[in-house]
Structure 1
Amino acid sequence: MSTYPKTQALMARGRDFLGSDHAIMCGAMSWVSERNLVAAISNGGGFGVIACGAMTPELLDAEITGTKALTDRPFGVNLITMHPDLGDLIAICVKHEVGHVVLAGGVPPRCSVEAIKQSGAKVVVFAPTLALAKKLLRSGADALVIEGMEAGGHIGPVSTSVLAQEFLPALAKEHLVFVAGGIGRGEAIAGYLEMGAAGVQLGTRFACASESIAHDRFKQAFFRANARDAVASVQVDARLPVIPVRALKNKGTEEFTAKQREVAGVLDREEIAMAEAQLQIEHYWAGALRRAVIDGDTENGSLMAGQSVGMVKEEEPAAQIIARLMEESETALTRR
């Protein structure tokens, strides 16, 4: 703990909030952020987060149980707000006394936030705008993640550096703000901590950790890629509320464009409601991501990756990744 005094001092609020040695969260990556990687990150001094994604309550129950068997360190659970069983998933988290629940994928219902907080757990939310961030914090959120468009998976339209300049001066003194998106080295962590961030969140950097269950072909695709290979999906119909997704360009990215046209056609025929149309898109991504991560279909599956993918060159244990990030941050702060 005393090896990185300058970084730890700047991370103090984030560390206290998470209960981890370092205020480094792992972004929840569907099919990747499961018990093995989550436990390894928490055991390595970071804060692992289970990606519930499209899991049923029964599957989440088993995943939390499995994670607890691998670590006695704190970890969190990421829930998608549009999940039809959100209430039941929260109940599973409460049953297991999960200390931190991350709500993603939209504005969380007030009743969901209240249910989590009544259990004694902390609520972490995402906010794309400063106005919404203030509203969510007033509504009971305990911490905020601001994630720039450099991130992998679902993204917003604004870069991490701009979000940090907008949010941190306005919120960081009184609230806990974690910065995410495009972070691949400790020097960037040092910079955001100096600006007032309580900590950071990284996903892509951990996707190819030794403990990650991702298929070897999935990992090899990351090792070969550079920043320009991680591209954002295109929205083909303005009516269809499709959140852009950043992934390595392959045949799967082209197939998603066709999928949007298919769903738009069903909307035209008024065969489904808009909410169901959006859910179909989300299910598509879940299936495409599984094909890449689990089956190793790197041509047709979704290789969700942030622009920091060019900094991922080899398999490393999660603890080693965290140690290196901390060393780089400490060196940068000492040099200053």
Structure 2
Amino acid sequence: MTASPARARLNQLWRRGCAFLGTETAIMGGAMTWVSERHLVSAISNAGGFGVLACGSMGPDRLAEEIAATRTLTARPFGVNLINMHPDLERLVDACREQGVGHVVIAGGLPSGPVIKRIKDGGAKAMAFAPALVAAKRLIRHGIDALIIEGSEAGGHIGPVATSVLAQEILPEVREVPVFLAGGIGRGEAIVSALEAGAVGVQLGTRFVCAAESIAHPNFKQAFIRAAARDAQPSTQIDPRFPVIPVRALANEGTKRFMETQRDLIAKVDHGAMTREAAQLEIEHFWAGALRRAVIDGDVENGSLMAGQSVGMVTREQPTAEIFSELLTQAETALGWRFPSEAARAVPAAV
């Protein structure tokens, strides 16, 4: 069956991304700790996208088990996301190699040349996040196979620059490797915009949290369904002496207490009741275990509700395949205005 002009154009726009991932669509699932596990990852891949397992704090043996379990649920390609700061990063890379993982995504910092080489020597394609053009060029020099550029609209740990600005800075300057765009993408029209700007594909995380296959607690899903874009806020740093890595999440009682805790600790330091180092450690440990409490245990008041600004487009729980169908319909409709079918052209204008 011949594809419509709009679908043919969409296939052309993300052809390079599909070829790189080995998928029908160039839609990657964002790796969300506790959420992007075997069930959601396999569902994304089975729907024609590219699921990505979130390793998080897993050890090598646990990661190997999760990869093997995902393989029992899908025969299609999927990748693994590793955290650059993980103390066992090299062994995790080796676990991916032993399990025959085809794509390894490094997050949480720029991977070194040796880490990239270790991934590629194991037969996998290496991917990483580029927060700026200079970082993109550096990663390319070190042999990275593909880049992801993610703006501040995304959920979880974020940088200071919006997706739209990063796209303008990086996409026109990088042709050597495929580049995927992420951050704030929740509809098919935005996917088309990213592709037409020069990206070969996109990454969506927040949109899949309320997938039927997601194991996130019903309370967690309901918090997403009720939320508006403005509810997904970055964590605030009160005093530059006490750095806070920005994390975008839904505001709740936990975020209020985090602000109060910072104020209390800073006051103690200023009054000589606590060392600066001890206060910084307490600030850094405030959210320890908070994501699991929210995602798995359903404590949406005190846990961390990491969410991107596209959360306002999450309106109900849906099967992953249905989410993909909606995204593709929206993308094709957007392209249809520019590439109408011959039948549509033949319809005479109303008098």
TM range (shorter): over 0.9
CA gap of 1:327–1:61, structure 2 versus 1, over 3 A, is: same
1-structure distance, mates of 2:322, 2:274: 48
Matched, 1:268 2:251: no
Residue in structure 1 matching 2:146, options 125, 143, 146: 143
Matched, 1:33 2:33: no
1-structure distance, mates of 2:248, 2:107: 16
Residue 326 of structure 1 deviates from its aligned partner by: 1.3
Matched, 1:162 2:165: yes
Q: Which amino acid aligns with 1:108?
A: P
2-structure distance, mates of 1:117, 1:263: 45
Residue in structure 1 matching 2:177, options 175, 178, 182: 175
Q: Which amino acid aligns with 1:268?
A: T
Residue in structure 2 matching 1:195, options 182, 197, 207: 197
Matched, 1:101 2:108: no
Residue 305 of structure 1 deviates from its aligned partner by: 0.6
CA gap of 1:117–1:218, structure 2 versus 1, over 3 A, is: same
2-structure distance, mates of 1:28, 1:302: 16
2:188–2:328 Cα contact (<8 Å) kept: yes
CA gap of 1:156–1:6, structure 2 versus 1, over 3 A, is: same
CA gap of 1:260–1:132, structure 2 versus 1, over 3 A, is: farther
Q: Secondary structure at the match of 2:289?
A: helix
- Per-residue displacement from partner, 1:226-264 (whole Å, max 9, x unpaired)? 001110101234244532000000011123345657888
Matched, 1:13 2:16: yes
2-structure distance, mates of 1:60, 1:291: 21
2-structure distance, mates of 1:312, 1:237: 34
Matched residue, 1:236: 238
Residue 333 of structure 1 deviates from its aligned partner by: 1.2
Residue 80 of structure 1 deviates from its aligned partner by: 0.5
1-structure distance, mates of 2:311, 2:180: 20
CA gap of 1:165–1:64, structure 2 versus 1, over 3 A, is: same
CA gap of 1:67–1:258, structure 2 versus 1, over 3 A, is: farther
- Per-residue displacement from partner, 1:138-175 (whole Å, max 9, x unpaired)? 1111111111111111111111111111111111x332
1:7–1:326 Cα contact (<8 Å) kept: no
CA gap of 1:132–1:259, structure 2 versus 1, over 3 A, is: farther
2-structure distance, mates of 1:88, 1:210: 33
Matched residue, 1:317: 319
Q: Secondary structure at the match of 1:70?
A: coil
1-structure distance, mates of 2:301, 2:278: 31
1-structure distance, mates of 2:274, 2:77: 44
Matched, 1:49 2:52: yes
1-structure distance, mates of 2:96, 2:179: 23
- Per-residue displacement from partner, 1:105-149 (whole Å, max 9, x unpaired)? 012122211110101101111011101111111111111111111
Residue in structure 1 matching 2:293, options 287, 291, 294: 291
CA gap of 1:188–1:269, structure 2 versus 1, over 3 A, is: closer
Q: Secondary structure at the match of 1:146?
A: strand
Matched residue, 1:334: 336
Identity across aligned pairs (percent)? 62
2-structure distance, mates of 1:6, 1:286: 46
CA gap of 1:332–1:88, structure 2 versus 1, over 3 A, is: same
2-structure distance, mates of 1:286, 1:325: 35
1:100–1:122 Cα contact (<8 Å) kept: yes
Matched residue, 1:222: 224
Matched, 1:83 2:86: yes
Residue in structure 2 matching 1:246, options 245, 248, 254: 248
Q: Which amino acid aligns with 1:227?
A: A
Name the TM-score, length of structure 1 as normaliser: 0.92
Name the TM-score, length of structure 2 as normaliser: 0.89
Matched, 1:111 2:118: no
1:126-137 correspondence runs (5 A): 126-137=129-140
2-structure distance, mates of 1:262, 1:64: 43
1-structure distance, mates of 2:156, 2:276: 30
- Per-residue displacement from partner, 1:76-114 (whole Å, max 9, x unpaired)? 000110011111111110110100000010121222111
CA gap of 1:69–1:119, structure 2 versus 1, over 3 A, is: same
- Per-residue displacement from partner, 1:178-211 (whole Å, max 9, x unpaired)? 0000001000100110111000000000011000
1-structure distance, mates of 2:147, 2:288: 25
Q: Which amino acid aligns with 1:130?
A: L
Matched residue, 1:213: 215
2:112–2:142 Cα contact (<8 Å) kept: no
Residue 23 of structure 1 deviates from its aligned partner by: 0.3
2-structure distance, mates of 1:49, 1:286: 23
